[in-house]
Amino acid sequence: MKHYKTITELYTTNGFLPPENPMLGLVTFEDIKGCQFVETEFTLGFYKIALKKVKSGNVMYGRTKYDHENGSMFFLKPNQIVQMNDIELTEKGFMIYFHEDFLVNHPLHSGVQKYGYFDYEANEALHISPREEDTLWDLFDKIRAEYYNNQDEYSRDIMLTHIDSILKYSQRYYKRQFLNRTVLSGTTVSKFTNHLKAYFDSGKLKENGLPTVKYMASELSLSARYLSDLLKQETGKTALDHIHIALVMEAKNLLMSTDKTVAETAYQLGFENPPYFSRLFKKEVGVTPTEYREQFLN
């Protein structure tokens, strides 16, 4: 598998004109008309933002295919595996490549981590309206104008400010997409709860312990980060919060319906460390498991 360590290497290998800045690359589909990606499977040593509509062919990252019927924006973090086969692009689109070192001593160096969509799967690409697309193109054009100007001490900050604006607008548009998805497919939280209940009822809790967010996401055919962001949008709570809430409900049932000790209850719920179970229970309920049980004995 090919790993492109630098933006310059990506450009020269695939026949693009060399970048103006080795830490930042800007490409429109017009710029690369006639160029073909040499590798069908590769990783990048830098970030990528793309507004990309694909006429035909397959793009994969994570474990899923990019939805080229509607998907418009997608985001790649360093070292994520990408697969491309028989790609034909539409006439209009852009790609922004930036190296992590380009962000040093700028708020985006740590701030980029808050944009969870860099951890989404290909089929969770952002679908944007024509008006939203115009907004993103306007920002790209501002970056490009600065990029090809005589760069000075202000250039990097100006370009990164516009890149951050693209990321912020994308966050806003994803929230709109979450709401639309909820209307179309029913609430994710109800599906999540049903899968969690099935996990408990099957005895997997005692056998395998607490299900991870990654496991629950795979059951719903979503990435872990997308699931958490979607639940947060719907309910204000993350996927892990919902797992803990369901677990505490199960714990309450056991404490009320059996004579098992708190430690035995913890082990039945898949906890190897009963004190940790007690702390989690108190955090969610406000009292310890023992205090909770005693409330109903008096």
Which tens digits make up the pLDDT trace of 159-187?
999 999 999 999 999 888 877 765 444 56
User: Rounded mean pLDDT of the chain?
Assistant: 84
Q: Which of 152, 185, 218 is the last residue of a domain?
A: 185
- How far is 184 from 135, CA to CA, in rounded Å? 26
- How far is 205 from 193, CA to CA, in rounded Å? 14
pLDDT of the residue at 81: 80
What are 51's strand-pairing partners? 73, 94
Q: Are residues 56 and 154 in the same domain?
A: yes
DSSP H helices in 47-201: 108-111, 130-147, 155-185, 188-201
Amino acid at 15: G
Q: What is the mean pLDDT of residues 152-156?
A: 91
- Single out the residue of 114, 106, 91, 98 nearest to residue 33, CA to CA: 91
Q: Are residues 177 and 64 in the same domain?
A: yes
- How far is 269 from 94, CA to CA, in rounded Å? 50
Ordered strands of the 73-76 beta sheet: 24-28, 94-98, 47-51, 73-76
Residue 34, domain CATH: 2.60.120.280
Q: Are residues 100 and 248 in the same domain?
A: no
- Single out the residue of 73, 55, 57, 75 nearest to residue 65, CA to CA: 57
Residue 199, domain CATH: 1.10.10.60
Which tens digits make up the pLDDT trace of 231-244?
887 777 888 888 88
Q: Are residues 193 and 96 in the same domain?
A: no
Rounded to 5 degrees, φ, ψ at 113 are: -65, -25
pLDDT of the residue at 184: 44
Sign of CA dihedral 284, 289, 291, 295: positive
Q: Are residues 178 and 197 in the same domain?
A: no
Q: Are residues 152 and 215 in the same domain?
A: no
Q: Are residues 100 and 25 in the same domain?
A: yes
Q: Are residues 154 and 247 in the same domain?
A: no
Q: How many domains does the chain have?
A: 2
Which tens digits make up the pLDDT trace of 241-294?
888 888 888 888 888 888 889 998 888 887 888 898 899 888 888 889 988 888
Q: Which of 134, 151, 185 is the last residue of a domain?
A: 185
- Single out the residue of 4, 237, 220 nearest to residue 121, CA to CA: 220
Q: Which of 185, 219, 238 is the last residue of a domain?
A: 185
Which tens digits make up the pLDDT trace of 71-98?
588 899 898 888 777 666 656 889 999 9
Give the structural domain span for 259. Answer: 188-295
Q: Are residues 278 and 181 in the same domain?
A: no
**Which three-class secondary structure state does DSSP give residue 243?**
helix
Q: What is the mean pLDDT of residues 114-119?
A: 88
